[in-house]
């Protein structure tokens, strides 16, 4: 079994690597986006991410493919109404979560925004729909960690603490760091 390095993340090296990748790529948007996300994690600075997203043409494939990053920017800016608008306007059923390859229902992020805005009724209705949908999805594919995480987060939104913890633990069991060093830590 391969050992996973426990060394701290070197954000400065990552910044240089993303910068170089953007220079070399004929379509640098993804590398620039990752560089902006790295800067958020590294320095808490939203400006590079904001600039990168502002530079994407609204109707472009890059803009449509990264709606979750627009949501994240608004969320981290604490503009929950703007985050909700981003999620409401998207027609994608799922979005990637954070910088990893985890996939969650877009409506879950919308429920988070409604919760943060104080609109408990709208949030609860979404959590209930997602919960029912993902109970069935987990029965259909019990080995899918994304489905367990989605179910757990919906359960948390409904205040079902024990179920939320159990589903979160199940997702971690299904995708340990030893299996996926990139997405595993997110779980």
158-169 pLDDT, tens digit each:
999 999 999 999
Q: Residue 183 above 80 pLDDT?
A: no
pLDDT number for residue 39: 95
pLDDT number for residue 100: 61
What is the average pLDDT value for the chain, to the nearest integer? 91
What is the b/e burial string over 105-132, where b = at least 16 CB atoms within 10 angstroms of the residue's CB? bbbbbbbbbbbbeebeeebbebbeebbe
In the chain, % of residues over pLDDT 70: 94
Q: What is the pLDDT of residues 30-76, one digit of tens each?
A: 899 999 999 998 999 999 999 999 999 988 888 988 899 999 999 99
Q: What is the pLDDT of residues 64-109, one digit of tens each?
A: 888 999 999 999 999 999 999 999 999 999 998 765 678 899 999 9
Opening angle at CA 94, ends 98 and 183, nearest 5: 35
DSSP category for residue 39: H
Do 134 and 126 form a contact (C-beta atoms < 8 A)? no
Q: 67-76 and 47-54 helices cross at what angle (nearest 10)?
A: 140
Instruction: Name the phi and psi angles at 94, rounded to 5.
Output: -130, 160
Interatomic CA distance for residues 50 and 61, integer angstroms: 18
Tokens representing 134?
A: 């993902």
pLDDT number for residue 3: 46
pLDDT number for residue 98: 61
Instruction: Name the phi and psi angles at 170, rounded to 5.
Output: -65, -40
Interatomic CA distance for residues 37 and 69, integer angstroms: 9
pLDDT number for residue 125: 98
pLDDT number for residue 186: 77
Tokens representing 109?
A: 């992020």
């Amino acid at each position: 079994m391969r050992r996973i390095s426990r060394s701290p993340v070197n954000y400065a090296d990552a910044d240089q690597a993303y910068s170089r990748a953007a220079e070399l790529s004929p379509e640098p948007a993804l590398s620039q986006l990752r560089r902006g996300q790295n800067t958020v994690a590294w320095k808490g600075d939203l400006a590079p991410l904001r600039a990168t997203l502002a530079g994407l043409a609204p109707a472009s494939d890059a803009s449509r493919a990264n709606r979750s990053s627009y949501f994240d920017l608004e969320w981290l800016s604490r503009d929950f109404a703007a985050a909700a608008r981003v999620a409401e306007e998207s027609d994608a059923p799922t979005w990637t979560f954070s910088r990893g390859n985890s996939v969650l229902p877009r409506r879950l992020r919308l429920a988070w925004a409604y919760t943060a805005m104080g609109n408990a009724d709208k949030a609860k209705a979404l959590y209930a729909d997602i919960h029912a949908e993902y109970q069935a999805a987990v029965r259909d594919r019990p080995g899918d960690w994304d489905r367990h995480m989605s179910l757990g987060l919906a359960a948390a939104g409904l205040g079902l603490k024990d179920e939320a913890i159990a589903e979160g633990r199940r997702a971690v069991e299904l995708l340990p760091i030893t299996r996926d060093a990139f997405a595993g830590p997110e779980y």
